[in-house]
Amino acid sequence: MPRARRRALGAPALTTGLTLAYLSVIVLIPLAAVVAKATAGGWHHFWQVAWNPEAKAALELTLELAGLVVLVNAVFGTALAWTLVRDEFPGRNLLNSIIDLPFALPTIVAGLTLLALYGPTGGLGVNIAYTRAGVLMALLFVTLPFVVRTVQPVLLELDKEMEEAAASLGAGRFTVFRRIIFPNLFPALLSGVALAFARALGEFGAVVLIAGNIPFKTEVASVYVYQHVSSDDPTGAAALAVVLLVISLGVLLAIGAVRRWATRHDR
Partner 1 sequence: MIGRYLVRFSALGYVAVILVAPVALIFWRAFEHGLGPFWAAITTPDALHALKLTLELAVVAVPLNTAFGIACAIAIVRYRMPGGGLVNAIVDLPLALSPVVVGLSLYLLYARDGWFGGWLTRHGVQMLFAYPAMLLAMLFISLPFVVREVVPVLREIGIDQEEAAATLGSSAFTTFRKVTIPAIRWAVTYGVVLTTARCLGEFGAVSIVSGGIAGRTQVLTQYVQASYENFNLTGAYAASVVLAGLAIATLVAMTIVRPKEERSGNRDA
Site string for partner 1, 43-72 (x = CB under 8 A): ------------------------------
- Rounded to a whole number of angstroms, the minimum distance from the CB of residue 66 to partner 1 is 12
- Rounded to a whole number of angstroms, the minimum distance from the CB of residue 116 to partner 1 is 5
First and final C-alpha spacing in the chain = 41
Name residues contacting partner 1, limited to 147-186 (CB under 8 A).
149, 153, 173
**C-beta atoms surrounding 52 within 10 Å:** 14
User: Which candidate, 205, 226, 220, 199, places its Cα nearest to that of 105?
Assistant: 205
- Rounded to a whole number of angstroms, the minimum distance from the CB of residue 165 to partner 1 is 20
- Rounded to a whole number of angstroms, the minimum distance from the CB of residue 162 to partner 1 is 19
Q: How far is CA 232 from the centre of its chain?
A: 29
Sole binder of partner 1 in the list 55, 58, 70, 195 (CB under 8 A): 195
Quick one: which segment of 45-53, 158-166, 178-186, 246-254 binds partner 1 (CB under 8 A)? Answer: 246-254
Nearer to partner 1, 212 or 217 (CB): 212
Nearer to partner 1, 52 or 248 (CB): 248
Sole binder of partner 1 in the list 164, 256, 260, 263 (CB under 8 A): 256
Is 133 among the residues that bind partner 1 (CB under 8 A)?
no
Is 22 among the residues that bind partner 1 (CB under 8 A)?
yes
Whether residue 225 contacts residue 245, with contact meaning beta carbons closer than 8 Å, is answered with no
Q: Which residues neighbour 37 within 8 Å (Cβ) at sequence distance 6 or greater?
A: 234, 235, 238
Nearer to partner 1, 184 or 248 (CB): 248
Sole binder of partner 1 in the list 56, 64, 101, 265 (CB under 8 A): 101
- Rounded to a whole number of angstroms, the minimum distance from the CB of residue 33 to partner 1 is 4
**C-beta atoms surrounding 9 within 10 Å:** 10
Apex 131 CA angle, 126 and 133, nearest 5? 75
Sole binder of partner 1 in the list 39, 52, 113, 184 (CB under 8 A): 113
- Rounded to a whole number of angstroms, the minimum distance from the CB of residue 175 to partner 1 is 13
Nearer to partner 1, 21 or 165 (CB): 21
List, as own/partner pairs, every contact residues 152-155 make where C-beta atoms lie below 8 angstroms and the sequence separation is at least 24, other chains included: 152/81, 152/84, 152/85, 153/188, 154/184, 154/185, 154/187, 154/188, 155/81, 155/82, 155/85, 155/86, 155/181, 155/185
Whether residue 211 contacts residue 223, with contact meaning beta carbons closer than 8 Å, is answered with yes
Whether residue 85 contacts residue 156, with contact meaning beta carbons closer than 8 Å, is answered with yes
Sole binder of partner 1 in the list 205, 215, 259, 262 (CB under 8 A): 205
Q: Which residues neighbour 254 within 8 Å (Cβ) at sequence distance 6 or greater?
A: 194
Is 15 among the residues that bind partner 1 (CB under 8 A)?
yes
Sole binder of partner 1 in the list 56, 71, 116, 260 (CB under 8 A): 116
| Number of Cα atoms under 13 Å in the Cβ half of residue 264 | 6
